[in-house]
Amino acid sequence: MLSNFDVSNIGQSVMILLQQLIIVLIALTFHETAHGWMANRLGDTTARDRGRLSLDPRKHLDPIGFICMLLFGFGWANPVPVDARKFKNPKLGMALTALAGPVANLLLAFMILLPLEIMAALLDNGVIVIGSQFGVNLVYGIIDFVSAFHYSNITLALFNLFPVPPLDGSRVLYAVLPDRWYFGVMKYERVISIVILFLLVLDVFNSPLAWLSSKISGGMLWLWQLLPWF
């Protein structure tokens, strides 16, 4: 028979998993949709023609990548198809399309702070008064979700901006490197991907990403504080 302590731990683990599930679904869906939206704006309708300009998570998820994201904190979505030949300027088009994903995640990270700032303002002005344990749990639950969503989106954006294949940053690199250099690097894309996966398993990126994420988070909070109603 499970003790109360064990049941409590199981319940907490389930809640954390559900929270992470929601965050991953939203973050990856907006990330991939943003790629397709930008490509469509620049003249490549491939993503639109294949139904990828959608906020339906089922259109974008790769099952294995999604499970890895939930269990290990890193993973991948089903990449949006892009045909660079349809861009007027293929290099610029690929760079802007690649940047759209991380930018979407940064915008999500910024906008999710709005309910937190509103709640803080209402509490400070006495509009909301917490008079029960349920109210306390609700407030802290919202704060916990907002914080996790906020940092997860920043981290996802930063990681994808690394200028190595197959990450989005490598497509930006394509816009500034001579073709000979770029395609010379891309020949080793599979090897580089395996190395990155190995480094992720070893948590090599955790510390620098956490540091950068905290700095960007601080900047976003500072921007919200500049708004006159907060």
Residues carrying an active site annotation = 32
CA angle 158, 86, 187 (to 5 degrees): 55
Give the residue among 81, 86, 82 at the shortest CA–CA distance from 60.
81
Indicate the burial class of 19 (C-beta count within 10 angstroms; 0-12, 13-18, 19 or more). middle
Does residue 103 contact residue 32 with C-beta atoms inside 8 Å? no
Residue appearing with tokens 């990828």: 52
Percent of residues in the chain assigned helix, strand, coil, to nearest 5: 75, 0, 25
Which DSSP symbol is given to 184?
Answer: H
Q: What is the DSSP letter of 77?
A: B
Distance of CA 60 to the CA centre of its chain: 13
